[in-house]
Structure 1
Amino acid sequence: LLKPENKEKLASILTYHVVAGKVMAADVVKLTNAKTVQGSEVTIAVKGGKVKVDNANVIKTDIQCGNGVIHVIDAVILPKDIVDTAVSAGSFKTLAAALKAADLVETLKGKGPFTVFAPTDEAFAKLPKGTVEALLKPENKEKLASILTYHVVAGKVMAADVVKLTNAKTVQGSEVTIAVRGGKVKVDNANVIKTDIQCGNGVIHVIDAVILPK
């Protein structure tokens, strides 16, 4: 990680340990998660008076500094990958099930980086009745994989860069159309409703419809 070529990855890990503002222990225990400077959220859990941040135990608190506060933890915490981020968000259950059925979980847990336009559970529910159930069947695995990889672009494309594009080549092979109107972004027929959910191996932009390869 200390090698120059891993500078970006190291910065991502380190900024995942930093939260903006001065959050004292008394306030930390009231939280269930916190947005980090890296962009994604850490999970905070209090059990039996002990505090965990992701998989790390907080072993010392409230070391005050001139420009903030330090809480000591007993493990290095790592930004969640795209799959784990989607699962922990709770609103992408159908997407998670589809990735599993299409054998794409390991791919999107890989190094990447990837940009995923992630349809919510509500987006999948808009499809004609029975569509999702049919796609999850083993015999439709290839078709499902084609649809899912149409939601993925290679590289980490943040919202500020997405708006400069008119189209983007997907991992599936064909291109999605990107249009910006009145400050709103559309990817094919879907509206982008949340942007820049940063993950350890890329970024997620949330969309309100499932987009289908042309």
Structure 2
Amino acid sequence: MTKTRQKKIPAEERRNVTVEAVIDLAASTNPDTITTAAIAKHMKLTQGAIFRHFPNKDAIWTAVMDWVTRTLMTRIDGAAKDIESPVGKMEAMFLAHIGFVSDHPGAPRMLFGELQAARKTPAKRLAQSLMAQYGARLHDLLTAGKTNGELRDDLDVEAAATLFIGTIQGLVMQSLIAGDMKRMKAAAPGVFAIYLRGISKDLARS
């Protein structure tokens, strides 16, 4: 009987496919319980095939968080790129972030898991770096919004940035609990409008 040969895939592509497999699994499984055996089974490979591209599980998790960071930041930056208004950029970022989570529901579960982990790992440092990058983008936009008169003069920029991220996290958590990511996308524009009412100079007076 002739054994079926696995198709040879370039190393970089194999690593990318492994990352995608982990994110797919995380959409319906607690990331802490995802084993390399489960990843291999999901990919229809042996564990040995995975370890030819990653030395250990920590390396896989680091690659996953690197992908989440790069992909999310690219998406939100791309959404805001051609918009001049700081408030308009923030709205585009908000909706793009929600769209990213809707497309990859396992990503926030991986992010939350790493941020809550007690161990200081390369993956956790990437998760913290992502939050720092995101916060810096928001800080700059909120400051610009105050400068150009779109936002309240007395706005607490740090608090507004925290609330922006917390609002997204709240929508994500509710959708994950309900198992309905479409609900999150439908609710996002209205939720952002409420957030904007609290920080906008004009809307705060109405």
Per the shorter chain, which TM-score range? 0.3 to 0.5
Point out the structure with the larger helix share: 2
Greater RCO (Cα-Cα under 8 Å, separation 6 or more):
2
Point out the structure with the larger strand share: 1
TM-score relative to the length of structure 2: 0.32
TM-score relative to the length of structure 1: 0.31
